[in-house]
Structure 1
Amino acid sequence: MGYAKVLVGVLFLFIAVATTSAAFTCTTNTTTTTNSTCRSLIDYVPLNNTNLSAVQSLFQIKRFHDLLGANDFSNSTSPNQTLPAKQRIKIPFSCRCENGTGVSDKPPVYTVKEGDVGLYNITSFTFSNVVTYQEIAEFNRLPDPNKITVGQKLSIPLPCSCDEVEGVEVVHYGHVVESGSSVEKIATEYGTTPAILLKLNGMANASQLQADQVLDVPLRACNSSVNSSSLDYPLLVANGTYVYTANDCVNCKCSSANNYILQCEASVLKPSSKTWSTCPAMHCNGTSSLYLGNVTTSTNCNQTFCAYSGFTNKDIFTTLATESTCPAGGPTGSPTSSPGSDASKTGMQGFRWNFLFISIQLIFLCFTLS
């Protein structure tokens, strides 16, 4: 029995060494802002085939169209659409700052099932390491991360941030690093710079990048005309995504192809507010012929259009806006030449499989010696 205890202790020490924190820095004092939360995204890379409905259920995303919007899927996409193993999908959720780090506001709650042998099993095989087992243990105040019971409820604190980056409001995205990727490649793909990524993630140099690491990537949000008194202010819609707002009566899309100008129009959904039987009229400046999303004039590099400017419990507001449609001068910080370093091709992924094999052997040995 004494040998078994020693081996179990070695096994748990190995687990602690094998797992690193994915916590993001979040110092924004949300109590002084209009809203106490912000929009965030994080990658989920399932180990096995699944479907969108199962992903929505696992992360407890209330509205299916929020999942579609975060991934720019058609609003006609079926919940039963298959998501192949290892295909990443962005999970939308609300973030709040707490004790210098960001955590999902009202995090998804997981119910422990038969076969869940400890928190490490849940973090690795169910949630694909978007959080560490230590973070789950700390958040749920569990003294022993390996003593869980079937039916127990565990809150899953997804890492996030609400902070500005270089003085600009952004949508923070927890990007799971692919094997063979690099800091420079990720920066170029998502419109930021290697220097910003390194600073944001507390990395001394690009060689510290690891495969399967959850990297804090700031996504540029489109410029909008939403005023500070609106219930959805600030409306931050990340490049390559769309969201429904104003009680689902308005659909707003952000794309670099539109020069990072927020494109909003009346949605095809029914209003989510019980006080609205139908969506309010969205005439621009009281006119009867001009509606939200309509372009009035377009000359040279400028266009005037009917833009969304916010909503209250009673009304949806619009305004005439003029925006430049000339090519943008570059996304959030111009990418600079910086020596990228490939993420380890085996990285933590191979390390975890080796760890799993060793763990199984140690567990069997423990039972034999006991």
Structure 2
Amino acid sequence: MTIFSNTTRIPPLIFLTFHLLLLLSLGVLEAQAKCKTGCRLALASYYVWEGSNLTYISTIFGKQISEILQYNPQVPNQDSIPAGERINVPFSCDCLNGDFLGHTFTYETVFGDTYDKVASLPFANLTTEDWVHRVNIYETTRIPDGVLINVTVNCSCGDRSVSKDYGLFTTYPLRPGENLSFIAAAASGVPTELLQRYNPGIDFSDETGLVFLPARG
């Protein structure tokens, strides 16, 4: 048996390998999580399409109609909502897999559903075909009828380095004609510069995609 004395030198490669294994065992070199926690409340801006109503929307999001109405004082307490309007739907914004903020809803497929159709119609472009596809096992062209699939919607809990004034955020799908100035003036009432800082890298002039809008609780 070999015993290392105080004067014995351990080869650098052996020492480095041992050090790396120790760090890995302690979890020091694990990839840093992009999020640690979510927030209790976020809002989804749901664009009401022809044929949808509060009952349908409450079923899609698993929320009681009374819960939805709390965030929509402009909506009369009735099932029918004119097509083309938007309503806010509350949901929890979770840290999913320590990687991103979002919430995964469960949706039961019907005949003719595709990932693109589910994203664009039942979920009113609050997600994308790619996002729905990546969290499910079925091929795009082979989605069975009457099965439960996952639908993930992204969300935001804010950024204190941008502003401490907002803790509630809306996931907002842009529609044609809705650019940065429109959103600032009509949808959120916050300065355009602040909107851009909360959505780095987003080109509002595209008038498509998702943005996160600060809202006051």
> How far apart, in 1, do the equivalents of 2:158 and 2:112 lie?
39
Q: Which residue of 1 aligns with 2:26?
A: none
Listed one character per residue, the Cα deviations across residues 211-269 of structure 1 (whole Å, up to 9, x for unaligned) are 4x32111113xxxxxxxxxxxxxxxxx2xxxxxxxxxxxxxxxxxxxxxxxxxxxxxxx
1:197, CA displacement in angstroms? 2.0
2:68 aligned residue: 67
Q: For the residues of structure 2 that align with 1:195 and 1:27, how far apart are their CA atoms?
A: 25
2:109 aligned residue: 112
Alignment root-mean-square deviation, CA? 2.5
1:182 counterpart = 2:183: no
Output aligned runs, 1:190-205, within 5 Å.
190-203=188-201
What is the rounded CA distance, in whole Å, between the counterparts of 2:47 and 2:202 in structure 1?
27
Deviations 1:71-102 (A, max 9, x none): 1257x813xx2122222211110111234421
1:230-269 residue pairs with structure 2 within 5 A? 238=217
Q: Is 1:54 matched up with 2:60?
A: no
3-state SS of 1:49 partner: coil
How many angstroms apart in 1 are the aligned matches of 2:202 and 2:58? 36
TM-score normalised by L of structure 2: 0.72
Cα distance, 1:152–1:39 mapped onto 2, change above 3 Å: same
C-alpha distance in structure 2 between counterparts of 1:46 and 1:85, whole Å: 5
**Is the contact made by 1:171 and 1:218 (CA closer than 8 Å) also made in structure 2?**
yes
- For the residue of structure 1 that corresponds to 2:133, the secondary structure is helix
- Once residues 84 and 205 of structure 1 are traced to their aligned partners in structure 2, the CA distance between those partners, rounded to angstroms, is 30
Structure 2 counterpart of 1:136: 132
Query: How far apart are the structure 1 equivalents of 2:55 and 2:102?
Result: 24
Is 1:158 aligned to residue 153 of structure 2? yes
Question: In structure 2, how many angstroms separate the alpha carbons of the residues matched to 1:156 and 1:38?
Answer: 19
Task: Decide whether the 8 Å contact of 1:46 with 1:127 is kept in 2.
Answer: no
Structure 1 SS opposite 2:121: helix
Please list, as runs of the form range in 1=range in 2, the aligned pairs for 1:119-130 lying within 5 A after superposition.
119-130=115-126
1:64 and 1:185 mapped to 2: Cα distance? 29
Identify if the C-alpha distance between structure 1 residues 138 and 127 changes in structure 2 by more than 3 Å, giving closer, same or farther. same
Is 2:204 the partner of 1:210? no
2:77 aligned with 1:89: no
C-alpha contact 1:49 1:84 (8 A) present in aligned 2:
no
SS in structure 1 of the partner of residue 126 of structure 2: coil
Amino acid at match of 1:109: T
Query: Identity rate of aligned residues, in percent?
Result: 22
- Provide the rounded CA distance (Å) in 2 between the counterparts of 1:109 and 1:143: 15
Shift of 1:40: 0.4
Conservation of the 8 A alpha-carbon contact between 1:137 and 1:145:
yes
Rounded Cα–Cα distance in structure 2 between residues aligned with 1:205 and 1:159? 18
Deviation for aligned residue 1:139: 2.0
Kindly provide the amino acid, as one letter, of the partner of residue 109 in structure 2: V
> Aligned with 2:58: secondary structure?
helix
State the shift of 1:185 in Å.
3.0
What TM-score does the superposition give when structure 1 sets the normalisation length? 0.44
Gaps of 5+ in 2: 1-32
CA change 1:148–1:103 in 2 (3 A) is: same
Number of corresponding residues:
181
Distance 1:161 1:138 in 2: 20
For structure 1, the residue ranges without an aligned partner over 5 or more in a row are 1-25, 31-35, 221-237, 239-370
